[in-house]
Structure 1
């Protein structure tokens, strides 16, 4: 038996988990490079900051589309091979962004960047299936830690590169990272127990999964709302910080991402907590933390230290809800983890796109207070949904008892 097959059969080794986490980090970065650069991009095309924020919304919608159209294939094809095709397509789309001569063409290219930046969501459900049940939450937490480190890398690096070399240079560099990622993906283990389903049947089964799995529906609703709040903040932050009293450039805005290192360190512990506590309670604590973060965002124009604290709480809360929701859905049907992940992540990034749009509108009309109002409402709705999920699970357990 090869090392690759042995890893799939007996659980993942620490080295394999590390390689998967690295893959997630590099792959997801592609959909976040633009965030600190939005004011710079808007200036280069002589458009308003609000219109420039369209890039954030379109990229999230592209990502949701890629998840819907291609991630279900991970239940029938080797994830390693599927990821390689996606990475090559992503590199081409990033280069198209770098040379885009007009804003409409940049929008189209950004959509394709989102569609092809799906490698992490191919890898994570596959790894969940390979992990032993008692370590599934921790493994998912570590992979999501890698995912989050990619987000931090993207924001911090793009801010620095944009400030010194321009926003186009960042997209060229990102395409180079993709090419390096192919060598990492080639070393990932094979998945077992792949489903022998045609593409049409895979897609139709998504509807059946959503209809028959109430826990999946709760995760979908909670993820939509929590990430909508998270995305509202980050898609709008660069625009607000570029205005008085701060007037920060892209490098400084990108450095805000480093504050999220605190939440990054906590990811494995969050996964361990999910292994021990009901996911809805963990998700509720995450939503509550996000809600509290937006109380501090409301003071963003007056207290920079409070704004930094809000970034810590926002990142930690969103990460907590995300790990809880994904660990919950991966426990439902082992043979359908790719499709379960698709249903969840499509709604998650549609929520991100909606949050980015609503955050931009809120900031345009109400500044920091407007952004805080949008984020707080979304987070509180996520909190209510999490408690509904716990109540539903409690009632189901009580009904099943003799």
Structure 2
């Protein structure tokens, strides 16, 4: 049962920092999810640049329609949620990161086709659901009497990871175009994968 916090706002903030310091599993679960979110946002930060150039020269209407491919992620959310307990958090992170890396590979090798991007986006969303839902489920159930505070830590880290991915994607696009974006996306996902592999406190 969730217990409402009874202290002052200052004490609430201090309790957040206390959980953050005392629970490396929550820190690292949030971080590996945030890194994958950064990889995810690399795609959306630069997809319009890619599709507006050769060989597509796509207009805003076509670029906007690509967002509909993200429906795949929404449709798989409930399925992934059911498998968190069956497969376990660590295994779902391996699966999710692997799917994200495969999606980047498809969007690199087939970067001059709409099919490559449609398949890549759909796989990216599925992989992202695996990573986000497994980690968020874990952190929310790890401290049941402070789920809102733990979720604050998770979402703050998550969006910092997203901001990092967006920044790096823009920076590398400037110098290496789509190849640079793919490098950033795969690199962030690989770091997340390495955290899962070597951090002993993680499930």
Query: Contact 1:270–1:323 (CA<8 Å) still a contact in 2?
Result: yes
1:221 aligns with 2:39: no
Q: Deviations over 1:290-326 (max 9, x none)?
A: 1111112223542221121110111111111000010
Structure 2: 5+ residue stretches without partners = none
Cα offset, 1:373, TM superposition: 0.6
Greater radius of gyration (CA):
1
Query: Contact 1:297–1:368 (CA<8 Å) still a contact in 2?
Result: no
1:353 aligns with 2:173: no
**What does residue 190 of structure 2 align with?**
380
Structure 1: 5+ residue stretches without partners = 1-128, 130-191, 395-402
TM-score, normalised via structure 1 length: 0.48
Structure 2 CA distance for aligned equivalents of residues 250 and 371 of structure 1: 21
Structure 1 CA distance for aligned equivalents of residues 201 and 6 of structure 2: 33
TM-score, normalised via structure 2 length: 0.93
Out of 282, 286, 292, which is 2:92 matched to? 282
1:392 aligns with 2:198: no
**What does residue 116 of structure 2 align with?**
306
1:332 aligns with 2:142: yes
Query: Contact 1:233–1:375 (CA<8 Å) still a contact in 2?
Result: yes
Going from structure 1 to structure 2, the CA distance change for 1:246 and 1:264 (only over 3 Å counts) comes to same
**What does residue 263 of structure 1 align with?**
73
Structure number with higher relative contact order (C-alpha < 8 Å, ≥ 6 residues apart)? 2
Cα offset, 1:256, TM superposition: 0.8
Out of 14, 17, 20, which is 1:207 matched to? 17
Query: Contact 1:281–1:386 (CA<8 Å) still a contact in 2?
Result: no
Q: CA RMSD in A?
A: 1.6
Query: Contact 1:284–1:382 (CA<8 Å) still a contact in 2?
Result: no
Query: Contact 1:297–1:369 (CA<8 Å) still a contact in 2?
Result: no
Cα offset, 1:357, TM superposition: 0.9
**What does residue 18 of structure 1 align with?**
none
Structure 2 CA distance for aligned equivalents of residues 301 and 363 of structure 1: 14
Out of 20, 27, 41, which is 1:231 matched to? 41
Query: Contact 2:69–2:122 (CA<8 Å) still a contact in 1?
Result: yes
Structure 1 CA distance for aligned equivalents of residues 201 and 157 of structure 2: 21
Q: Deviations over 1:316-363 (max 9, x none)?
A: 111110000100001111221111011111111111111011111222
State the SS of the aligned residue for 1:244. Answer: coil
1:198 aligns with 2:8: yes
Per mean C-alpha deviation after superposition, the further-off stretch among 301-310 and 201-210 is: 301-310
Superposed, 1:34-73 pairs within 5 Å as none
